Copies of this chain bind each other. A is one copy, B any other.
């Protein structure tokens, strides 16, 4: 097992070396997490809300140190890291609200009584935590999808101890934020083992294979996800794998949109493609722009903006090398035109050149465009007078997290048809906006058909908690063994009573 070593992407200098976690240490961490499960659940909704608010406070209290270390290990701008910390701290408080609300329990009570099948028993259902879960940190969101972030706080909210696999690109930041979580758990009276951390690829594999782990949350590459799914496939007990993997995020700019606001669309697009070095799972990777004058106006502004864009520093050597390789390969395909290039990188870090590519819709199928993580996108020039060809092209794309339509005045029916074409292949549909920037909220959904995710669950938004819960029904249970939320006198959470939804009093 090799040392986990992080490198400053801007300079190529080593930032930190951390010893990998041994298989024995992983097993012990999982055992401790298992032991913590009952105590974490026993804190109850109010106790875990205290824990989540403590997580928020601890992250805020260490903001300066976290952002500074994050800057060195990721080269992401200070403003971005500050925004990410704000988002994660907010998210922890939002899940505290989810716990206060209690609707996530899906509590239901059917009182005993006659049914068409004879006398029915008293049945009471709610969701309970599945047990310890594994969370894999992502390189591109060192604070929002890593040791702290949506997976961790939603799992803690559910009542599941979390063992995080630290991403090898930012092990020091992982350790620092892990310490913040441990401090918060201590302050909130959560049991030891509520959060754990492992370092190194082998440790991650051992974690997923450990019998104590009941589910896996992962944000990363399709190949990484497939490797974990293979390990799960070899487990005696299969467990759910919630992977957020690859996404192309198609955008359709209609003729009306291109005619109405070409510069605005081009500028929004380039900002969305180059922000955070294009290293966002929702980056628009394929943009249908109409052939002809209106579309040309969009393209010319986009060319100008990408041409003026500075070189981007990517997160690690693998991402930077892979970006150059995929972008080169794409550029070399017959029919693909490189229509703009941004600044050339200098120095010894992981710098790359932003690129804008173009292809005619007729050749799209032959080119076969997949995700290219980094500051590039492909403009697909399509014939606005051949809508069925566009719909066919959309149907031929791999499913994505998002699908976007930019339209102009009087195009309602067209937008409806494009929505129908996009919905089967996306989890979030956007109109006249850009898919990057995923708000953490109650109505958010971040998950599309495979390979973007596993379809039925989200990794962003309050319903992300559902991944770490399972239903249990108590039949004719004495009141003393029932969870508080299922007792008759309780009115603190929304409940379905004999089929009728009732709000808390």
Contact = CB atoms under 8 A, between A and B. Distances in A.
A322 interface: no
Interface string A413-456: 00110011001101111111100000111111101011100111
A123 B233 contact: no
A191 interface: no
Interface residues of A, number: 83
Contact of A441 (B38, B115, B239, B441): B115
A97 interface: yes
Interface in A99-147: 101, 103, 106, 108-110, 115-117, 120-121, 123-125, 128, 130-131
Contact of A503 (B106, B124, B426, B503): B503
Contact of A443 (B110, B430, B433): B110
Contact of A471 (B117, B447, B477): B447
A356 B492 CA distance: 47
A427 B471 contact: yes
B496 A439 contact: no
Nearest to A240: B456
Copies assembled: 2
Nearest to A122: B443
Contacts of A454: 238, 240
Interface of A: 38, 83, 86-87, 90, 97, 101, 103, 106, 108-110, 115-117, 120-121, 123-125, 128, 130-131, 214, 229, 233, 237-240, 412, 415-416, 419-420, 423-424, 426-433, 439-445, 447, 449-451, 454-458, 461-463, 466, 469-478, 480-481, 494, 496, 498-499, 501, 503
The 4 A-B pairs of least Cβ separation, nearest first, read A445-B473, A108-B443, A123-B443, A125-B443
